[in-house]
């Protein structure tokens, strides 16, 4: 009884803080639970894939195969065999970390085209209710936009609110790679916003890429916008627990393992983690097994650890939060599985404290001209001497 009461108090505290801090649309949803169903199983088509014996030997199980096994499997196939599998199982091939990059891009284009057709057919069905019709139209438009020339979709899963991972730049030849790990309210429909684009992972990626090119035009870079896990909606119960982060962290780990097989930057990818995405990054950090990795956390509610040492060896942690970011008003504590622990921007947490001068609010960190965006690019480029630290 006492634990349930504490849970209600903590959830209410998070919601109340966001409302008092004028969190906008998210605050209006704060009182609602909006509990989400995490996606932890392989994509559609996986069962048929594992029972496919057309090559005379088993295909790698999407549920258990590691990136090294997947990479070795595709290396042994002819281009024609690879293409045949991509056409037969686009969602499987498109989500297999370790598979060739160009093959995944082609497979996901096929999967997106199929999703557009499915959604349009549903929207045209006179029997569906207005809400279903509107959702189908929105889904068709969102998927169609990702089929535009030049877009490189590394992963796509239409289940639930939809997951998508997009690459900006030439990942195969990039010298520096960054992965943007977003927070709440991101999904297929909010991966790339036409209005207020810097609130979306794709918009953040474009801004970071432009700043990197401004700082070091001769360096080949690639940015990955990873809308690749089910995020909380609003600031209800999901936002104050690690349940969705626990489900998302293995997916991020597999992405990084796949990148180690299909790209060759001069340093491991930099993780740039925003809001609830910092909880995911805090959860995945020990799974990186000591690999030296720059990890930048911004607008964090906590990382489910009490200090940077708990992230494990090899993590070079940088943290920032601007004074007008409402997330600074949340309770930085963790009790009974609720809350996300200590504040990464506190002096004793152990992160390098960087400036976000010019940034405003919870989603203003990627605005052009801000010190925060400058710092993200400098860290991603490995130019630590250009990083501007927080003072005071």
**pLDDT value of position 30:** 39
- b/e per residue, 172-201, with b = 16+ CB within 10 A? eebbbbbbbbbbbbbbbbbbbeeeeebbbb
Of the chain, the percentage scoring pLDDT greater than 70 comes to: 91
Question: Which residues, in sequence order, are CB contacts of 225 under 8 Å at separation 6+?
Answer: 165, 166, 168, 180, 182, 191, 200, 201, 202, 204, 205
Question: Which residues, in sequence order, are CB contacts of 249 under 8 Å at separation 6+?
Answer: 280, 283, 284, 287
pLDDT band at 33 (very low <50, low <70, confident <90, very high): low
**φ, ψ for residue 159 (rounded to 5)?**
-65, 150
Question: Which residues, in sequence order, are CB contacts of 174 under 8 Å at separation 6+?
Answer: 220, 221, 222, 263, 265
Question: Which residues, in sequence order, are CB contacts of 190 under 8 Å at separation 6+?
Answer: 199, 200, 227
**pLDDT value of position 24:** 38
Given a cut of 90, is residue 29 above it in pLDDT? no
The structure tokens listed for 172 are 């195969």
What is the tens place of the pLDDT at every residue in 34-69?
899 999 999 999 999 999 999 999 999 999 999 999
Given a cut of 50, is residue 147 above it in pLDDT? yes
| Mean of pLDDT values over 221-249 | 95
What is the tens place of the pLDDT at every residue in 256-291?
999 999 999 999 999 999 999 999 999 999 989 878
What is the tens place of the pLDDT at every residue in 310-340?
999 999 999 999 999 999 999 999 888 899 9
More confident residue, 113 or 19: 113
Tell me the average pLDDT of the chain: 92
**pLDDT value of position 236:** 84
pTM, 2 dp: 0.92
Q: What is the largest CA-CA distance in the chain?
A: 65
- Residues 236, 11 contacting (CB under 8 angstroms): yes
- Residues 297, 350 contacting (CB under 8 angstroms): no
Domains of the chain: 2-39+160-386 (3.40.50.1820), 42-151 (no CATH)
Dist. CA 328–CA 343, nearest whole Å: 9
Given a cut of 60, is residue 115 above it in pLDDT? yes
pLDDT band at 169 (very low <50, low <70, confident <90, very high): very high
């Amino acid at each position: 009884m006492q634990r349930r009461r504490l849970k209600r108090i903590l959830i209410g505290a998070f919601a109340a803080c966001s409302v008092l801090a004028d969190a906008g649309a998210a605050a209006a949803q704060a009182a609602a639970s909006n509990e989400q169903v995490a996606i932890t199983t392989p994509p559609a088509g996986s069962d048929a894939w594992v029972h496919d014996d057309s090559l005379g030997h088993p295909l790698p199980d999407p549920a258990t195969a590691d990136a090294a096994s997947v990479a070795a499997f595709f290396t042994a196939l002819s281009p024609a065999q690879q293409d045949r599998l991509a056409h037969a199982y686009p969602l499987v091939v498109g989500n297999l970390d370790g598979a060739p990059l160009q093959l995944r891009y082609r497979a996901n284009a096929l999967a997106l085209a199929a999703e557009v057709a499915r959604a349009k057919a549903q929207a045209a069905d006179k029997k569906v209710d207005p809400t279903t019709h509107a959702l189908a139209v929105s889904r068709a438009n969102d998927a169609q936009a990702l089929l535009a020339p030049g877009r490189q979709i590394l992963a796509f899963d239409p289940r639930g609110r939809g997951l998508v991972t997009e690459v900006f730049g030439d990942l195969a030849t990039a010298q520096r790679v960054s992965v943007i790990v977003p927070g709440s309210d991101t999904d297929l429909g909010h991966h790339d916003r036409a209005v207020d684009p810097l609130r979306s992972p794709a918009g953040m990626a474009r801004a970071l890429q432009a700043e990197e090119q401004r700082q070091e035009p001769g360096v080949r870079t690639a940015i990955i916008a990873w809308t690749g896990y089910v995020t909380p909606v609003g600031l209800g119960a999901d936002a104050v627990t690690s349940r969705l982060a626990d489900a998302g962290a293995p997916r991020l780990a597999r992405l990084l393992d796949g990148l180690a097989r299909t790209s060759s930057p001069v340093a491991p990818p930099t993780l740039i983690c925003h809001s609830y995405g910092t909880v995911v990054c805090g959860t995945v950090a020990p799974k990186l097994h000591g690999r030296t990795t720059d990890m930048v956390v911004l607008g964090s509610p906590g990382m489910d650890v009490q200090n940077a040492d708990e992230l494990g060896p090899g993590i070079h942690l940088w943290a920032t939060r601007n004074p007008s970011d409402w997330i600074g008003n949340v309770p930085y504590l963790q009790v009974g599985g609720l809350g996300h622990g200590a504040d990464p921007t506190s002096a004793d947490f152990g992160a390098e404290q960087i400036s976000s001068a010019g940034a405003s609010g919870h989603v203003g960190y990627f605005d052009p001209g801000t010190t925060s965006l400058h710092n993200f690019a400098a860290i991603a480029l490995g130019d630590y001497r250009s990083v501007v630290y927080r003072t005071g």
